[in-house]
Amino acid sequence: MTWSWAAAGFRAIGKDNDSIVTDADTDLLIVGSGFFGLTIAERAATQLGLKATIIERRGHIGGNAYSEIDPETGIEYHKYGAHLFHTSNERVWEYVNQFTSFTNYQHRVYATHNGEVFPLPINLGTVNQFFRAAYGPDEARALIAEQAQELGGKEPENLEEKAISLIGRPLYEAFIKGYTAKQWQTAPTKLSPEIITRLPVRYTYDNHYFKDTHEGLPVDGYTPWLERMADHPNIEVRLNTDFFDESQPLNKTAMAGKVPIVYTGPIDRYFDHTLGALSWRTLDFEKEVKPTGDFQGCAVMNYSDEDVPFTRIHEFRHFHPERDYQTEKTLIMREYSRFAGGGDEPYYPVNTPEDREKLEGYRKLAEAEPNVLFGGRLGTYKYLDMHMAIGSALSRFDNVVRGWFA
């Protein structure tokens, strides 16, 4: 039997709908329907009674957290890569539980290196398997400490040296070097040491990926959760609507300065790249249906070796073992990483020294924009997990948006 979800009460209006929203019809314009924008809209509607209009460039709600059902297998998959919810922020946890309940899923990752599978993050099991040993915690700790002394006290000048100073060369070359080179499309010797501040090695056999108080996946999927956040009579979502497209009425030229705006797109795009384009990484995904009930035995398998072109494979059936998915076929998705070009979807800020210099300039321009709040991963040029985006939105709603309508 295939698994499916029921349609939520949420309804979105497409760009070509005859109903046109003007600046007189809304109290707050929100650009982007990811978690930051949805949280602001929901709070504005329910706490302040405001009419909030969300415009979304894509054809669906939810930004990169969006998920859908694969028609061939009936398996829910995360269209833009695996999204795992976890948090230790009690306010965020209480907030999200208004819209969904969560499974007890705990994320675990494995890595393939030289044809062998190892548990991640690096832990006592990884160390003993890699070195073909039976070290106890103290012996393993002493071994890694010895290997990490290779630089002899020299200040690391690049990512490779920084990683070696943290976990030693053997583990670095096995699990970090190739993966990082693929992820950044740059040799680790040419990447800043600031990219990694720590590479923990656990001296137990625990390979539970996150250490937060709360963890799980939405019981009936991400999209129903996202749609429930927008399911309020004061919230309107307009899909396929580009903020910078002046052929539609809710564009930047028409709306800026006339209605408060929450902007969650790329901050450099808002200012027409006046100070130069910030650099981003993007991801490419390759879906494939396999004629088996289980392809790899786990949700995520990293591929550490540089001669494998993709960074990891997701097998989405393993995110929800409680569901009654059919067992004749399974859905996998390979993930590739590269620098984003002009027409690519930005995912992660590269954050070079040149980027940080430009960002400072953009932040000053943002501060001068009246009644515009820049938020989310793209609007702040920061990598934010889902719970961080939601927590930031709750805080900015209290400290900024409320003040606009006080």
> And the tokens for 401?
């948006």
Q: Tell me if residue 323 is catalytic.
A: no
In whole angstroms, give the CA distance from residue 67 to residue 222. 6
- At 195, the amino acid letter reads I
Catalytic-role residue among 246, 288, 383, 398: 383
Task: State the pLDDT confidence band at 12, using cuts at 50, 70 and 90.
Answer: low
Mean pLDDT within 243-248: 97
Catalytic-role residue among 43, 228, 238, 312: 312
Which residue's structure tokens are 């499309």? 185
Mean pLDDT within 12-18: 52
Catalytic-role residue among 228, 238, 281, 377: 281
Q: Tell me if residue 43 is catalytic.
A: no
**Whether the predicted pLDDT of 187 surpasses 80:** yes
Q: Tell me if residue 198 is catalytic.
A: yes
- At 300, the amino acid letter reads V
Q: What burial class does residue 38 get, using C-beta atoms within 10 Å of its C-beta: 0-12 exposed, 13-18 middle, 19+ buried?
A: buried
Per the prediction, the chain carries an average pLDDT of: 93
Please answer whether residues 343 and 304 qualify as being in contact, where contact means their C-beta atoms are separated by less than 8 angstroms: no
> And the tokens for 159?
């990512």
> And the tokens for 174?
């096995």
Predicted confidence at residue 238, as pLDDT, reads 97
Mean pLDDT within 133-159: 94
Catalytic-role residue among 27, 179, 202, 222: 202
Q: Tell me if residue 202 is catalytic.
A: yes
- At 295, the amino acid letter reads F
What percent of the chain shows pLDDT beyond 90? 86
Mean pLDDT within 289-315: 97
Strand pairing category for 12-13 and 235-238: parallel
Residue-wise DSSP of 156-221: P-SHHHHHHHHH-HHHHHHHTHHHHHHHHTS-GGGS-GGG-S----BSSS--BS---SEEE-BTT-
Report the b/e string of 350-368 with b at 16+ CB within 10 A: bbeeebeebbeebeeebee
Mean pLDDT within 31-55: 98
Catalytic-role residue among 335, 362, 377, 396: 335
Task: State the pLDDT confidence band at 40, using cuts at 50, 70 and 90.
Answer: very high
Catalytic-role residue among 16, 18, 198, 272: 198
Mean pLDDT within 299-315: 97
The 3-state DSSP class for residue 230 equals: helix
In whole angstroms, give the CA distance from residue 232 to residue 223. 16
Predicted confidence at residue 258, as pLDDT, reads 94
Predicted confidence at residue 19, as pLDDT, reads 40
Backbone angles phi, psi at 306, to 5 degrees: -70, -20
Q: Which of 352, 341, 335 is nearest to 64 (CA)?
A: 335
In whole angstroms, give the CA distance from residue 117 to residue 175. 11
Rg of the Cα trace of the chain?
23
CA atoms within 13 A on the CB side of 164: 20
Q: Tell me if residue 269 is catalytic.
A: no
DSSP state of 385: -
Domains of the chain by start residue, with CATH: 28-68+218-277+348-404 (3.40.50.720), 109-195 (1.10.3110)
Predicted confidence at residue 11, as pLDDT, reads 55
Predicted confidence at residue 343, as pLDDT, reads 86
In whole angstroms, give the CA distance from residue 14 to residue 123. 49
Q: Tell me if residue 58 is catalytic.
A: no
Q: Tell me if residue 377 is catalytic.
A: no
Comparison of pLDDT for 14 and 91, the residue scoring more: 91
Predicted confidence at residue 9, as pLDDT, reads 52
Predicted confidence at residue 14, as pLDDT, reads 58
> And the tokens for 201?
């090695």
